[in-house]
Homo-oligomer: A and B are copies of this chain.
Amino acid sequence: MTGPRYTPLIASLPDAVPFVGPEAIERTTGHRFAARLGANESLFGPSPVAIEAMAKAAADSWMYGDSQNHDLRHALASHHDVAAANIVIGGGIDGLLGSLVRLLVDPGDAVVTSKGAYPTFNFHVTGHGGVLHAAPYRDDHEDPRALIELARETRPKLIYIANPDNPMGTWHDAAKMQAMIDALPQDCLLILDEAYIEFAPHGTAPEFNTDDPRVIRMRTFSKAYGLAGARVGYAIGHSDLISSFNKVRNHFGMARASLAGALAALADQDWLEHVQTQVVTARDALADLARANQLSPISSATNFVTMDCGRDGGYAGRVVAQLAQRGVFVRMPFVAPQDRCIRVTTAPAQALKIFADALPDALKAAQTAS
C-alpha cells in the first residue's frame, strides 16, 4: 500500500523541530523545572486586567473569533498612529513569519539572515525551499552593513533582522536601523523583528513609515505584555503587503480569548511600565550574578541577559545541562561564536534566587566534566 504523495520539497525536508520546549524536557527528565528562564517568557506575568479579560472571554469561546480582528487592529493602529489597513494580526510572530515567507519565497529563492539568528524563521524559509544566506554577527551584534552587502550579492526576497536581537540581547539605535532601511536594495523586503522592542531604550525603533513597501515590522504580545501562551503577534507595513496576508492566512484562526487578552493588555500601559521597570532591575541583578560567577554579561535591551561563559559551545552546553539538572531551564545560542554563552530570562527575585543558588555548582560540574 503506497502512502501519500508529498510534494518533492516536503519529501526533501528533515523531520527537524525548531525548538524543544521546556515541557518536553521535563517529560524526558521526569522533573519539573523550578525556574523557567529559557524561553524569554515574562515571569512578571500579563496585566491582571488581561487575565481577567481572558477569563471572562472563556465563556464566549463557543463563538469563533472575529475573522477581521477588527477591535485589536484598530486599537493597535491608534496606539502606533498608523492605519488599521497597515496592521495584520497573527498567531504570534512565528505564525506571521510563516505566512510572509509563503507569500514571497519559492524554492531556490534567496533569503538573508544572520548566522545564529531566529531558528523559527529559518524553519519557515527552509520549509518553503528558500536558500538561506547568513552574515556573521559582529561583536555579538547583528551586522546591518554585512546584511546589506550580502543582500546586494544575493538579491534575496527577504532580509531578516531582529532589533533588539535574540539570542544576544544587543541592539542598534534607530538611526542605525534607518540607515539600514535607506540602504535596502529596491526589491528586497526587510523583516524588522521587534519582539523585544518594549524593553529597549527610547530611540531604538525607527519611525513607522507605512508608505515604504520595503519594510515590515513584527511585534508581539508574547514578551513585554506577558501573553506568550495566547499567541498574538502583529505586523505593520504597507497596506498592499498587509492585505496580501489575506490570501494565505487562516482567517478564523485567532482564539477569541487571546484577542480579548491582547486588547486588554494593550490598554493597560501602566502594567507595561511596571514590567519594564522590573525587567531593568532583574537585568542588573542577572548581570551582577554573572560577574560574581566569573561570567561576562552582555548588555541587553531585552528581557534576558546573555552571559559569556568564556569557553566554547561544548562548555556552555554543559552549563545548560547542569542547570537543568538543578531545576533551572535556560537556553544558549545555537552557533559559534555566540554559543559560548548562556541566555537567561529576567524574572522576579524568587526565581532569580533559584538560578543564583544553582549557578556556582552547575559551573563547577560543567568544568569538571570537560
Partner-B contacts on A (CB < 8 A): 1-10, 13-21, 23-24, 27, 36, 39, 41-46, 50-52, 54-68, 70, 91-92, 94-95, 98, 102-106, 120, 127, 157, 186-187, 189, 212-214, 222, 226-231, 238, 240-241, 243-244, 246-248, 250-258, 261
Contacts and interface: CB of A to CB of B under 8 A. Distances in A.
Nearest to A97: B250
8 contacts: A1-B186, A2-B186, A4-B189, A23-B68, A43-B62, A46-B62, A57-B229, A98-B250
A271 to B, nearest CB: 12
Most B CB contacts (10 A, CB to CB) among A60, A63, A187, A222 go to: A63
A243 B15 CA distance: 8
A1 B44 CA distance: 43
Contacts of A189: 4-5
Given A3-B240, A42-B62, A58-B257, A251 B17 contact: yes
A64 B18 CA distance: 14
Given A17-B246, A61-B229, A67-B24, A7 B103 contact: yes
A227 to B, nearest CB: 5
B61 A261 contact: yes
A251 to B, nearest CB: 6
Contact of A63 (B36, B66, B254): B36
Given A2-B186, A21-B67, 12 more contacts: A1-B213, A15-B244, A41-B62, A43-B62, A46-B62, A54-B61, A55-B56, A64-B228, A91-B91, A92-B253, A95-B253, A255-B257
A251 B24 CA distance: 12
Contacts of A238: 3
A58 B262 CA distance: 12
A45 B223 CA distance: 32
A1 B46 CA distance: 40
* Tally of this chain's copies: 2
Contacts of A253: 91-92, 94-95, 231
A18 B176 CA distance: 42
A64 B231 CA distance: 8
Contacts of A20: 67
Given A1-B214, A70-B27, A250-B94, A7 B105 contact: yes
Contacts of A9: 106
B62 A229 contact: yes
Contact of A17 (B59, B67, B103): B67
Contacts of A104: 4-7, 10
Contact of A60 (B24, B59, B127, B229): B229
B2 A228 contact: no
B226 A61 contact: yes
A60 B91 CA distance: 17
Nearest to A91: B253
Nearest to A12: B247
Contacts of A105: 7
Contacts of A244: 6, 10, 15
A252 B61 contact: no
A263 B246 CA distance: 31
A269 to B, nearest CB: 18
A62 B45 contact: yes
A13 B56 CA distance: 39
Contacts of A213: 1-4
Nearest to A106: B7
Nearest to A36: B63
Given A91-B253, A250-B91, A258-B255, A61 B7 contact: no
